[in-house]
Amino acid sequence: MPITSGLAIGSLIAGIGSILVSVLVVCFAVTSGGPWVAGAFTLLSVLAAAGAVAAAVLAMRQIRRSGEPGRVRFTGRGLAISGIACGGSGAGISLLALLLGLVLQTS
């Protein structure tokens, strides 16, 4: 019986967390919070995204190697790919929002 990879699940959770933090970056970038606060949350979002991508890569390696005889069979490749997509999206949104906040402050 196959088991869903915990790394793949963790990757998706970290990717979703990165997107949620990027929403905070957008809020602080366009309000009076300014780019300093947005920058701090951008760092948090990028770190969560990096963790999501790293966990997803490890999960995909774990899933690929699990097909060998005598090993536990892992599933969750789609979760790992979703973790990469969510992590990348969260980091991208955060960086664009920080750039927007910097542009708005200088004008």
Return per-residue pLDDT of the chain as tens, 107 residues: 889 999 999 999 999 999 999 999 999 888 877 778 889 999 999 999 999 999 999 999 999 998 778 888 999 999 999 999 999 999 999 999 999 888 888 76
Residue range(s) defining the domain that contains residue 50 = 3-102
Residues 6+ apart with CB under 8 A from 92: none
Residue-wise burial string across 2-33, b where 16 or more C-beta atoms lie within 10 A, e elsewhere: eeebebbbbbbbbbbbbbebbebbbebbeeeb
- For residue 33, is it within any domain? yes
In a domain? residue 87:
yes
**95 located within any domain:** yes
Q: Is residue 83 part of a domain?
A: yes
| Stated pTM of the model | 0.91
The answer as to whether 107 is a domain residue is: no
How many domains are there within the chain? 1
